[in-house]
Amino acid sequence: MAILLTRNSKVIVQGITGTGGSFHARRMKAYGTQIVAGTSPGKGGQEVEGVPVRDTVEECVREFGANFSVIFLPARFAAEAALEAIFAGIKTVVIVPEHIPIFDMMEVRKAAIAHGTVVIGGNTAGIITPGQANVGIIPDVAFEPGRIGTVSRSGSLTYYVADTLTRTGFGETTCVGLGGDPVLGSTFDEILILFDKDPETKAVVMVGEIGGAYEERAARMLNKMSKPVICMIGGLFAPPGKRMGHAGAIVEGNIGTAQSKLEALTRAGAHHAKTFMDIPEILHRLGV
């Protein structure tokens, strides 16, 4: 099985006529993702990479039964696109662009909760369920079907973790790129709960980074998990007050440090992996 994304997910690409949207539509479709339509206001009736284009998400839901959306639009338009998808009944929305205004993402998260929609991002590489579907900008070369779920704020670290799991024979059920912006559509604890309910996922690798309190929030629910969680935290040596890559990766005072996150997670029962090769060693030790 998988979480959020399967071969049966009916995906639309919002912004499909743009350079990024068309390129990744072709790539996702080639992987086997069921891309049923795309949207671009004023260009309804066209086709891109063999995919029909409509003016609105509502048309895509009505005509093609769409239930999943990925957004390839400039940051200033991303929130409006996400809200359109949520109000049209889409159940999972992936927001790829970064630097979404904080208030915009707060509005999106509020609407998503009210309508029962899962929003991933902004600033996410996307979601991949190896062997079934790939949505976003994730290169599929490192991924193989398996039994370990992963969730990470960093796209690059998602790839490295998956490559480690693939090369050591564990493989992955679903890999979720949570996103690197300060305000995200989903949190670690919400994704961990989904993995805990998935019968094919035997353990979860969670990769956090400095900044924010998403990791600490996850620590509060780890004792409710029936499956082991391995954690890695990026930015152990990051200087305070300096943004490290992602917009959300900045330490303010004593809040959001890598050390505070590690302490909270390990105290709650997570297994700390200092290096990528620690991950398979821990999994073997746990008998996963």
Amino acid at 194: L
Same domain, 116 and 147: no
Q: What per-residue confidence (pLDDT) applies to 239? A: 60
pLDDT for the residue numbered 220: 87
CA-based R_g, the chain, Å: 18
Task: Work out the pLDDT band at 245, boundaries 50, 70, 90.
Answer: low
135: pLDDT strictly greater than 60: yes
User: How far apart are alpha carbons 141 and 257 in whole angstroms?
Assistant: 32
Are 102 and 123 a contacting pair, CB within 8 Å? no
* Each residue's pLDDT tens digit, 158-182: 999 999 999 999 999 999 999 989 8
| Mean predicted confidence (pLDDT) in 263-268 | 92
Q: Could you tell me the pTM of the whole model? A: 0.92
pLDDT value at residue 73: 97
Structure confidence at residue 258 (pLDDT): 78
| Same domain, yes or no: 260 and 219 | yes
- In what order do the strands lie in the sheet containing 11-14? 47-48, 51-54, 35-39, 11-14, 68-71, 92-95, 118-121
**143 and 115 in one domain?**
no
Averaged pLDDT, 37-59: 97
Alpha-carbon distance 226 to 125, whole Å? 28
Do 83 and 48 share a domain, yes or no?
A: yes
**Residue 133 located in a structural domain:** no
Predicted confidence (pLDDT) at residue 243 exceeds the cutoff of 70: no
Residues 144 and 112 in one domain: no
Show the domain range for 46.
11-121
Torsion sign, CA atoms 195, 198, 200, 202: positive
Q: Is 284 an annotated catalytic residue? A: no
Q: pLDDT at position 76, please?
A: 95
Domain count, the chain: 2
Question: Which residue of the set 246, 271, 272, 284 is catalytic?
Answer: 246
